[in-house]
Amino acid sequence: MPARRDYYEILGVDRGADAEAIKRAYRRLAMRHHPDRNSGDAESEERFKECREAFEVLSDPEKRHLYDTYGHEGLQASSGGGFGFDIGDVFGNFFEQIFQAAGGETPGGDLGLRWDIDLEEAYRGGRIRVRYEALDLCPECRGSGARPGTGLRTCPRCRGAGALRMQRGFFTVQQTCPECGGRGRVLEAVCEPCRGEGRRPAEREIELELPPGVADGTRFRIRGAGHAHGRGHGNLLLEIGVRAHPLFRREGDDLVCEAPVGFTTLALGGAIELATFDGPRRLEVPAGTQSGEELAIAGGGMPRARGPGRGRLRVRLEVEIPRGLDEEQRRLLRLFEETLADEQKPRHIRFTERLRDLLHRREKA
């Protein structure tokens, strides 16, 4: 490990400097080296970190005293070595961002969102506009959560230790300080517009190109469209939901619907008209089609999201039994029924035969 630079030297103040002078020096240097103004320059980041660490120590009377007396070692001992890089205070989550970028992990600030579209929109695909709310960096405090011109102070609850000890019978229980979240330091004064959060909800709108045939539950990852996070933004993880349609449902790449058809059309054959997303379409019904049978129109389904072509449009035919028949219609139907031969109603015949067999077997037993 290289020798660590002296904190006073880093801030360019002398050993007797008062709190105000230290704060002023720090603010000046932090502004100069702030990552927002140096677009990822590694040298500046290093300077910035160094200044921050120096300020954290010298602005805290306890830590400053330890440092003055014992040097860097004194601080290591008092804080368990973990001070200086606490996340989410003066300049938001800047460090977390850097560490995560270095580690190749997904940076925080990701936002998950489900956006519903109609089945017809899914069928056509194309450009959609998605409106949503995400957190932006608070312009007042630039994400620090601190009222402009103020810094950090020692947490009054844990007195900077970051943890609370409580006596529970014979045991002493140690708990992370809820006031400062274990950092040992809290904001001197909170930024009012964001209530110290450093981020504020803002309306966003993005445009997205959907492939025709996009399926319910398809996910898109839109880089940089999530919450403000550190110097950048997290990603937006957008899941497309497809609303139920009153007429059609999707099965794989097929569209499926039910069509009520008159008894006469099923018996004699004929054409019915269907409404589709591309306008009306005729469907030929062969003579003798049974109720519940399915007819398919090739290429009438959803565009395949992967690969060319379309699925089928499958139409389930349901017989519609007429109601409220008058005397003449009833007479005609009965007359018609009498003319039917057994082989013209095979399902009915098979059913009665099976029934007869069953009863016969019971009698014998």
Which spans of this chain sit near Zn ion (rule: CB under 5 A)? 138, 140-141, 155, 157-158, 177, 179-180, 191, 194
Give min distance, CB of 200 to Zn ion, in A: 7
Percent helix, strand and coil across the chain, each rounded to 5? 30, 30, 40
Task: Output 136 or 293, the one with its CB closest to Zn ion.
Answer: 136
Q: What's the Cα-to-Cα distance from 128 to each of 119, 124, 234, 256, rounded to whole Å?
A: 13, 11, 21, 25
**Minimal distance, residue 138 CB to Zn ion, in Å:** 3
For Zn ion, give the closer residue by CB, 86 or 253. Answer: 86
Q: Pick between residue 173 and residue 349 the one whose CB is nearest to Zn ion.
A: 173
Name the residue nearer to Zn ion (CB basis): 194 or 302: 194
What angle in degrees, to the nearest 10, is found between the helix axes of 42-58 and 61-70? 100
> Can you list the alpha helix ranges (DSSP code H) found in 168-295?
263-268
H or E element: which one contains 281?
strand 279-285
In whole angstroms, the minimum distance from the beta carbon of 74 to Zn ion comes to: 20
Of 282, 313, 285, 279, which Cα lies nearest the Cα of 299?
313
- Comparison of 192 and 284: residue with beta carbon closer to Zn ion: 192
Bridge partners for 296 per DSSP: 314
Q: What is the three-class DSSP state of 309? A: coil
CA gap 160, 63 in Å, rounded: 9
Distance (Å) of CA 316 to CA 72, 151, 357: 80, 71, 33
Shortest distance in whole angstroms from residue 113 CB to Zn ion: 24
Shortest distance, position 202 Cβ to Zn ion, whole Å: 13
Q: Which is nearer to Zn ion, 186 or 238 (CB)?
A: 186
Q: How far is the CB of 172 from Zn ion (least distance, A)?
A: 17
